[in-house]
Amino acid sequence: GAVVSQHPSWVICKSGTSVKIECRSLDFQATTMFWYRQFPKQSLMLMATSNEGSKATYEQGVEKDKFLINHASLTLSTLTVTSAHPEDSSFYICSTERTGGTEAFFGQGTRLTVV
Amino acid sequence: AQSVSQHNHHVILSEAASLELGCNYSYGGTVNLFWYVQYPGQHLQLLLKYFSGDPLVKGIKGFEAEFIKSKFSFNLRKPSVQWSDTAEYFCAALPWRSSGSARQLTFGSGTQLTVLP
């Protein structure tokens, strides 16, 4: 069964609204979660590293005020796309791994379409 | 900086044909290497991984990959593809660090495989 659950799978929103994406670790406590973004025909690009109980670490070029990350518990990290615009339309995926583990587990991804 | 290159963006094969997808990585230290597959509308799934030991790694669904250190390559192979192998395939690298520190995967750009029935 799924180790990481991501919700929603797809969402359509109007420009200017905000969208929250949830990522839950089902089988283990995840002190660190990663958020990726995938543009069509391109690879997954790391956006930020979410750390439980502390501020997220954002990759260069990712606006922290636009992509708000909250990791309030050991099993849940959320990504909120604020004031969404059509160029934010993309596929967002979260992942995590067990401490000391050797395999990353991915959520099913969220297809965001901003109209 | 670490990078992963996949040179084939789209591969089209007929059923029973043999498959080889290229993957090259750039990193000065020890890396762990992975191949993931993403079927339409589904999660990324791990096909196989290489950490150490035998450079020929066997994964699920008949896939295998060979780590060639001198070439910085980790190509994915399957002797006979099936229509159900149609999916996107990603090569990824993870720099080795001691446990306790967070690590993130670096992905290649992906290869779309289409298998014609």
Find the length of chain B. Answer: 117
Instruction: Please give the helix or strand (H or E) that residue B57 lies within, else none.
Output: strand B56-58
> B109 and A34 in contact by Cβ < 8 A?
no
| Interacting residues of B28 by C-beta distance below 8 A, sequence separation 6+ | none
Q: Are B43 and A108 in contact (CB < 8 Å)?
A: yes
Locate the chain A residue with the closest alpha carbon to B40. Answer: A108
Q: Which residue has the higher pLDDT, A70 or B2?
A: A70
Give the angle subtended at the CA of A31 by the CAs of A9 and A75, to the nearest 5°: 45
Q: How many CB pairs lie under 8 A apart between chains A and B?
A: 51
Per-residue confidence (pLDDT) for residue B102, from 0 to 100: 53
Assign A98 a pLDDT band (cuts: 50, 70, 90): confident
Q: Higher confidence at residue B63 or residue A1?
A: B63
CB of B39 within 8 Å of any CB in chain A? no
Contact B89, B60 (CB under 8 A): no
B51–A contact, CB cutoff 8 A: yes
Q: Angle CA(B22)–CA(B25)–CA(B29) in degrees, nearest 5? A: 150
Alpha-carbon distance A55 to nearest alpha carbon in chain B (angstroms):
14
pLDDT score, position B103? 63
Tens of each residue's pLDDT in chain B, 117 residues: 678 999 889 999 999 999 999 999 988 778 889 999 988 877 788 899 898 889 999 999 999 999 999 999 999 999 999 999 999 999 998 876 544 455 677 889 899 999 999
